Structure 1
Amino acid sequence: MDRNLIGDLAHADHPVAAPLADDTVDALLRHALDGQRSVLDLGCGDGTWLLRALRLQPGLHAVGVDLSGAGFERTRTAADAEGLGDRLALHVADAATWSSDERFDVVLSIGATHAFGGLVPTVEAAASHLGPSGRLLVGGCFWEQPPGARALEALGAAAGDYRDLASTVEAVRAVGWEPLDGHVSSLAEWDAYEWSWTGSLTRWAVEHPEHPSSAEVLEVAAQHRTAWLGGYRGTLGFVTLLLVQRPVH
């Protein structure tokens, strides 16, 4: 089965593709969107963040870009049913190379740092789409504690792939951005996300035993669960930062 489709199935019950609770997502969006008129989401997944943003901010214009496009039609249908469809545009394209003449009041990129080569490159890429006095809302991983061999093997990562939390924030500041707000995902948020990710795939496989990809999907869920529980649980962290550009004096 196509990996993008597997990813879409995995997020059936947790469409926000990051370890964030619903109330946290809404709180971050309210702060980021306060008084703003347009938002771009780079690596938007199925567009869930944008749909939630439109619900929260009347008059907001929302644009999303994702290489997969899995789930776009579902999100467009939901937006149309709620009378929000005329304010939502979703594009199937590489978020790292997509370009537009439009500049946005807010640019989001949550859990998509792999598309840009890390958190700092994500910040810099997102900033290129931002209008004057705009805000960035970015989210990515860091090390909650120094990673051991099991965590690195489970993630297929190297110790240098991420920093600790303090160094992560300082790396963003070093390229000219200051945090207005932030959220460090709790272990409970991580657990809820991972149980949902693996459980959604398991349920689909059990409910579709005759599908030619049923065994494959069940194995993906099992491998992911083993990597999480036996490898990176409690070691890999996730931080979401609301950023503004530092004034030049």
Structure 2
Amino acid sequence: MFNGRVDRQRLSSIAHTHHPIAAPVSGVTVNRLLRRADRGPAARILDLGCGQAAWSLQALAHSPDGHADGVDLNPYALERAAHAAEERGLADRITLHQRDARRYVADGDHDLVLCVGSTHAFGGFADALELAGRHVNRDGVLLVGEGFWETPPTEAALSALSTTPDEFTDLAGLADAAAKAGWAPVYAHVSEPAEWDDYEWSWTGSLTGWALDNPGHPDAAQVLDAARAHRDQWLRGYRGVLGFVTLVLRRG
């Protein structure tokens, strides 16, 4: 577990217990996006920053003869991903790699590459388009989830996110950046307020529940404080200001 101090990777894994999608996107929407990104029954799928592999495992449901590779640095998330794959009977169709997504080497012949809520691993949206895009074959799809300013950022939002106004652009700016990088959106979903609320309440609630269920653990108080701090940053900071869009991209 935490061995006396909060392990951030373990903290993240617990926070996503009840929302393994790990983005403000509902399960229904995940399926709709994957249908739009479908590359056939034998698709080769790569999930960069896969977390618990919720996206890639569901993508395999749309490609019954396909295979997926999931890449993440978090060993706890990968452990949960392996368990989920076993439960769904998909363990023989997914390979999990504990590696830095930015430095992951593949043959560039994937039909579908996923990078949802993980562009920071590449240094931002533009770098993710370039580096993750190298793994996509000529007729493939790059499915990217990224934050954007739903409204001009307030001081409270900037403080809560510990960021600056130029950290994100608006939605039009993301579309422009994709076009500049040679990608054309064929579909997109902008997360709705209810999806954001479900994600954030699940994130903070999972931590709170763990702390309350393990009151004698040396990290229980710190985990509870982390949940409270995050909830406050969301509710008093970036709620309704930071948006999230998942783009289905093909080469333009």
After TM superposition, the score normalised by the length of structure 2 is: 0.94
1:1-249 to structure 2, matched below 5 A, reads: 1-35=6-40, 37-101=43-107, 103-246=109-252
Alignment deviations for residues 98-131 of structure 1 (CA, whole Å, 9 cap, x no partner): 1123521110000001111111111111111111
1:96 alignment partner AA:
R
CA distance in 2, matches of 1:62, 1:146: 38
> For structure 1, which segment, 117-126 or 198-207, has the greater mean C-alpha deviation from structure 2 after superposition?
117-126
Q: State, as a whole percentage, how many aligned pairs show the same letter.
A: 49
Alignment deviations for residues 117-173 of structure 1 (CA, whole Å, 9 cap, x no partner): 111111111111111211100011000011011110000010001111111111111
CA distance in 1, matches of 2:172, 2:209: 39
Whether contact under 8 Å (2:126, 2:177) holds in the other structure is yes
Aligned length: 246
Whether contact under 8 Å (1:43, 1:65) holds in the other structure is yes
CA distance in 2, matches of 1:30, 1:72: 25
1:189 alignment partner AA:
E
CA distance in 2, matches of 1:72, 1:213: 22
Tell me: CA distance 1:228–1:81, structure 2 relative to 1, closer, same or farther (3 Å).
closer
CA distance in 1, matches of 2:235, 2:84: 34
Whether contact under 8 Å (2:149, 2:170) holds in the other structure is yes
CA distance in 2, matches of 1:239, 1:135: 16
SS in 1 for 2:57: helix
2:21 alignment partner AA:
V
> For structure 1, which segment, 65-74 or 199-208, has the greater mean C-alpha deviation from structure 2 after superposition?
65-74
1:22 alignment partner AA:
G
Whether contact under 8 Å (1:69, 1:91) holds in the other structure is no
CA distance in 2, matches of 1:157, 1:78: 34
Alignment deviations for residues 208-239 of structure 1 (CA, whole Å, 9 cap, x no partner): 00011100100000000010000000000001
Whether contact under 8 Å (1:46, 1:69) holds in the other structure is no
Displacement of 1:81 in angstroms is: 3.6
Whether contact under 8 Å (1:45, 1:69) holds in the other structure is no
After TM superposition, the score normalised by the length of structure 1 is: 0.96
> For structure 1, which segment, 183-192 or 35-44, has the greater mean C-alpha deviation from structure 2 after superposition?
35-44
CA distance in 2, matches of 1:235, 1:133: 35
CA distance in 2, matches of 1:177, 1:74: 33
SS in 2 for 1:135: strand
Whether contact under 8 Å (2:116, 2:144) holds in the other structure is yes
Gap runs ≥5 in structure 1: none
Please give the root-mean-square deviation of Cα atoms over the aligned residues, in Å.
1.2
